[in-house]
Structure 1
Amino acid sequence: MTRNPNTGCDGDHATFCRICEAHCGLVARVKDGRIESIAPDKDNPLSRGHACVKGVNMHRVTHDPDRVQAPLKRAGAPGEFVEVSWDDALDDIAQRIADIQAAGDAGAIASYYGNPTAFSSDCVMTFLDFMRGLGSHKPYGAGSQDTNARMVATNILHGAPFPVTFPDFADCEFLIIMGANPLVSNGWLMCTPRIRHDLDGVAAKGRVVVVDPRRTETASRYEHVPIEADSDVWLLLAMLKAMAEDGLLDDAKIAKISNGWPDLLAAVTRIDLETAAARTGIAADAIRRLAADFCRAPRAAIYGGLGLCRGRYGMLGAFLLGAINAVTLRYGAPGGTRFGQQMLASTAKPFSGSYGAPFSRIGNLPSIGGKMPFAVLPGDILEPGEGRVRALFMSSGNPLLSAPGGEMLERALAALDLFVSFDFYRNETNAFADYILPTTTFLERGDWPFVAFGELQSPFLQYSEAVVHPQGESRDEYQIYCEIAHRLGMAAPTASPEKIALAQAGHLPSPRDQIDAMLREGPAGDRFGAREDGWSRERLLDFPHGVMVDDLPDDAHEWRLRISHDDGLLRLWDPLIGEEIARLVAEMSAPRDTSTLRLIGRRDIRSMNSWMHNVDKLVRSQRPVLLVHPTDAEARSIASGDIVRVRSPNGAVAFEAEVSPDIVRGTICYPHGWGHGGGWDRANRTAGGNMNILLGVGPEWTERSTGMTLIDCLDVELSLVAETAH
């Protein structure tokens, strides 16, 4: 196979997308040092010609005239910047860090880790280590708007927040999907670039049942079971009870793979199916049928997405979903739930113990996977006392449009002594930064599909060099970390004594070199030349489209080796689960205020949170509107096209309404990431409002066991502001 042209040279460059977990193969055509076009890579053996509209338009981000291409320093009010040299920026940043460190307050430096950071090997492997090297123990992250509930549930079930499981699509015959829209998201916490093909395969053999308050794109294609927003836990508990009552479970076999089933079963018996039916809007006999059909299907799995995790009982819902897979003996079974294929050498239990400490100064909330919940960051900056945050380093984030805080977050950012943003856009949040340091897009750096290596259903390898050279003065993040560290007298951007010793000896490998070593030592690796047919980065360069490692045996049946509990058994009970079920049961008698509606979010396949809205080809056909059920609209004299106001206890926002039967009565739906006012011209001309203004900030607005922001299923009021011509 022919290697790619050298970086920046004319021709077609095989690479892969790093916007989401799917990592679809791409072919970028370069002419005169610029990317002219991007197409799906038909020769990529994993994605086989699939790529969504975002990936094939990524060159419009790389060559966006609004991109930050030189270091920017604040020179006035928020959003007012001047270009400075790298040396001037880094010298000043290092001196200000040193001054803060000299004050001796270990809690004064914090970081924020945005979603795109996970898709850069440099960042995901080094950013938090760099912050620890600066003496910071306060990493805040997007996980409290995203994955934390799933991580805590997995920590209980498996003994560690990672790795997670996902359906064995190839052999599945009955799949239940809750709180996910994979035809738009491409799947969550799994690498499935051909997800529609996978789901169609399941449906052809049996059934795909989508439980969701909205008739999503996925629900429209398969079987849709509408459900009341924020009632998933009632359905899952009722299904467990029906399975047990109807004799569909084998207690002896459950005992061989798990601990705690008797405790969970005792708690489940407190749930009444009729109450669950009233809460979910799904008839009791329909719940019982769904439970029976699932148990009797030879090859079945239940899968949950982000929508399951962002309500008042997100962690409990994610746990119960895993428990159903466990008690129906789906772990490692053909067509059931499985761990990803291991491609890299690693310890058996790499993430053990990463739940709990350090706890947040505000609210005493736990860290999940080493990161603190964002909802308490504004208070951590503004509230006086020892440990108050004075400096913030933000990697690829825009929390003003993707997290809680609103006006309080703006005040907090303005109060910082030092705010440094690593980004390639001037967005709404880093308008408050002292410095914006320009970083590379994924087309300007070599990389591995590192996240995918833990989420693969089939063994696959790929490495891509940079397609084009960094634009302007942009730099890779790791290079920037090293420059700051050296100015502070650090041998390397790390707190690890082993890495410091290697750096002092001149032998510290780069993050990409470290991954190469893990590959070479792993099950498919060349063992540094000892195995002739093994793989390394150098050999992969001869296969730029990637390779399926067909001779690597499927290890799905060895799932117990991936459980971090000492006995290798799943945990189906924990005091946290008892507390959450008790809280749920205590609410059974509380009637819901029917004058309010519940607000949920959604995704658009042309959008990725807030950061791709400056690409005209993507946003010109997008129209963020509030979906309202016809009955709820009629009660408020609302018609499609009207401007309406949504009000929560925390604020109010105006949206354009669209009356739609695709949303259940009592629920309204709007996408996040809109309401632009940063340094990007096209994004600022888009319609839409910032729904995050409606979110609460502080520990009282989180799910306490996880620190998850209560984003979905907020109780809100809806009213007409202005009619439009109908």
Structure 2
Amino acid sequence: GKHIEGLRAFIAPYSAAAVADVVGVPAETIRELAHAFSSAERAAVHMSTGVNMGRQGTLCYWLLQMLSFVTGNLDAPGGNFYGEGFYPAAKAGRVQQEQPFFDSPFGELRHVRGALPGNLFPDMVLDAERPLRALIVLAGNPVLSAGGEPRWREALSQLELLVVIDLVRNATGEHAHYLLPSTDMLERADINICGLGMQYEPYVQYTPAVVPPAGERREEWWILARLQHAMGMPSLLDAEPPAPFARLDRMLARSGLSIAELAARPDGVAVLPPPAQGRFYTELVQTPDRRVDCCPPLFAEALSQARAIFDELRAAPPRFRLINLRTPFMQNSWYHNIPKLKRGRHAHNPLHLSPEDMAALGLAEGDPVHVESAHGRLLASAHGDRSLRPGVVAMTHGWGNAGSTGLRVARAHPGVNVNALLPTGPGSYEKLSNQAFMTGVPVSVSAAN
């Protein structure tokens, strides 16, 4: 590796004793875990959306990889390895690393896989000089899924054109000039691509449509192609016949497969060999000199901010931190309109607190509570949750459908939009990844009576 000295300099101030109070884990426990991991014959470490959605998700993931690297567990049997699925795409990392920042009215920005920070969208629409004027939403619901609901509603009301492609009219669709019905998962052919690279034994499956589309539903690619055609732009409809799976066919070709070949199989499935280990350092590292960059210069600003955040938390730790909560009864802002999933405490989204915090606040199950952050305030009901430690509270997001006239069941069980407590606008996202800050939010909690 290279820039090892930068990695050492960054972690030096953060001994177990120094961080114990801030992270809420005893120093001895941290030392025991560090010793167990480093002395194990083989060890693997994983993190996902919970940490990624915090203020330092990229640095956390970088440190995870460095932990695996310096302990000899990266690209080793029993440790962490690079998964490719049916489409080897390691070179995309080099393209992303070289993506530069550029100046904008909202500060320095960079494209991440072609995208800009969603938390800046309302600011871009409401910009006095060069406002964004149109938006197409595909199966999304940013009004309830992003921070700053009032500002999102204001921004959407100012658009000259809002097209929403979905199965239902959700909270965002209420603002649409055009709501276009798309096919659902049983009405279209599909291929599993979302888990690409996340399977130890990679497989790919093609599934044909099971039933014809209801009413005037159309596949998303067709809707977008028709819009392009109407604007005089090239589209998939220029080909005869159209080939919406052409790119996927090119991807599959990297593994010697094709849509036609998969479709001819009885179950549409091809199981691929597990990723070959021992190739990471010779074939997959994308730095020009093929050495692992242990402290990329691109991280310089984030490393400085990390120290400031740590000092802030040590000097004035928040009484409560709000984290994400997921349940089988809710997936983002979906499942709202399914009657069977609106039962008992799952008919709304209570604030989950530890039993210790319930007692300290004098709360009983179901009592109303005020939850307030620097960005908003809401009224919720209290629910005791033994899985939480004191000082941590949690709520499911995507609720708040009181005004969603297209969702009868959801409107009867609206819940509250926890994202009203989240920041929005410049400074509310991580610059390296463009990920919005959505967890670990400092809040205060008090009985509503």
Quick check: TM above 0.5?
Answer: yes
Secondary structure in 1 matching 2:195? helix
The match for 1:451 is: 194
Once residues 270 and 491 of structure 1 are traced to their aligned partners in structure 2, the CA distance between those partners, rounded to angstroms, is 55
3-state SS of paired residue (2:278): helix
Residue from 75, 79, 95 that aligns with 1:353: 95
Equivalent residue, structure 1, for 2:397:
672
Tell me, which stretches of 5 or more residues in structure 1 are unaligned?
1-257, 494-502, 526-534
Matched, 1:543 2:265: yes
Alignment partner for residue 421 of structure 2, among 694, 702, 725?
Answer: 694
More moved, 419-428 vs 615-624 = 615-624
In the aligned structure 1, how far is the partner of 2:90 from the partner of 2:178?
41
Paired residue for 1:466? 209
Q: Which residue of 2 aligns with 1:557?
A: 278
2:207 match: secondary structure: coil
Equivalent position to 1:399, from 142, 165, 186: 142
Partner residue of 1:385?
129
Task: Return closer, same or farther for 1:316/1:562 CA change in 2, 3 Å cut-off.
Answer: same
Question: 1:630: Cα distance to partner?
Answer: 3.0
**Match of 1:643?**
368
Pair 351,489 (structure 1): closer, same or farther in 2 beyond 3 Å: farther
CA deviation string 1:666-706 (max 9, x = no partner): 11111111111311111112252100111122112223333
Q: 1:476 matched to which residue of 2?
A: 219
Letter of the 1:671 counterpart: T
The aligned runs of 1:561-576 (5 Å cut-off) are 561-576=283-298
Give the C-alpha shift of residue 311 in structure 1: 2.1
Partner of 2:175: 432
The one-character-per-residue Cα deviations of 1:279-338 (angstroms, maximum 9, x if unpaired) are 122222221111111112222111011111222222211111111111112222111112
- Whether 2:110 is the aligned partner of 1:366: answer yes
Residue 144 of structure 1: aligned partner: none
Distance of 1:638 and 1:473 partners within structure 2? 51
The structure with the greater share of residues assigned to strand is: 1
List per-residue Cα deviations over 1:597-617 (Å, max 9, x = no partner). 111111002321012211122
Asked if the contact 1:402/1:610 (under 8 Å) is kept, the reply is yes
Q: Does 1:656 find its partner at 2:381?
A: yes
Matched, 1:331 2:53: no
Corresponding residue of 1:78: none
Q: Kindly provide the amino acid, as one letter, of the partner of residue 381 in structure 1.
A: V
User: Are 1:602 and 2:325 counterparts?
Assistant: yes
> Which residue of the partner structure matches residue 234 of structure 2?
491
Alignment of 1:30-429 (within 5 A): 258-344=1-87, 349-350=91-92, 352-354=94-96, 355-356=99-100, 361-386=105-130, 388-429=131-172
TM-score normalized with structure 2 length:
0.91
Q: Does structure 2 retain, via aligned residues, the 8 Å contact 1:439–1:476?
A: yes
| 1:171-209 CA distance string (max 9 Å, x none) | xxxxxxxxxxxxxxxxxxxxxxxxxxxxxxxxxxxxxxx
Report the AA paired with residue 366 of structure 2.
G
Equivalence for 2:245 = 512
Which residue in 2 is equivalent to 1:634? Answer: 359
| Compared CA separation, residues 427 and 709, structure 1 to 2 (3 A) | same
Match of 1:611 among 309, 334, 339: 334
Distance change (3 Å), C-alpha of 1:295 and 1:478: same
* DSSP 3-state at the match of 2:124: helix
- The 1:276–1:715 alpha-carbon spacing in structure 2 relative to 1, beyond 3 Å, is same
Per-residue Cα deviation, 1:516-557 (whole angstroms, up to 9, x for no partner) = 3432x323x2xxxxxxxxx4333323434344536x463233
Q: Tell me, yes or no, if the aligned pair for 2:201 and 2:274 is still in contact at 8 Å.
A: no
Letter in 2 for 1:645: H
Q: Partners of 1:651 and 1:396 in 2: how far apart?
A: 26
Distance 1:595 1:603, change over 3 A: closer
Percent of paired sites with the same residue: 32
Would the aligned equivalents of 2:262 and 2:270 in 1 still touch at CA under 8 Å? no
Unpaired stretches in structure 2, ≥5 consecutive residues: none
In 1, distance between residues paired with 2:85 and 2:307? 40
- The letter of the residue matching 1:647 is E
Q: Match of 1:464, as an amino acid? A: T
Question: Could you tell me how far apart the structure 1 residues matched to 2:137 and 2:18 are?
Answer: 45
Code of the aligned partner of 1:582: S
Is contact 1:340–1:556 with CA below 8 Å preserved after alignment?
no
Distance across 1 between alignment mates of 2:84 and 2:427? 39
Find the residue that maps to 1:437 and give its secondary structure.
Answer: strand
Number of equivalenced pairs? 441
1:539 and 1:707 map into 2 onto residues whose CA distance is 38
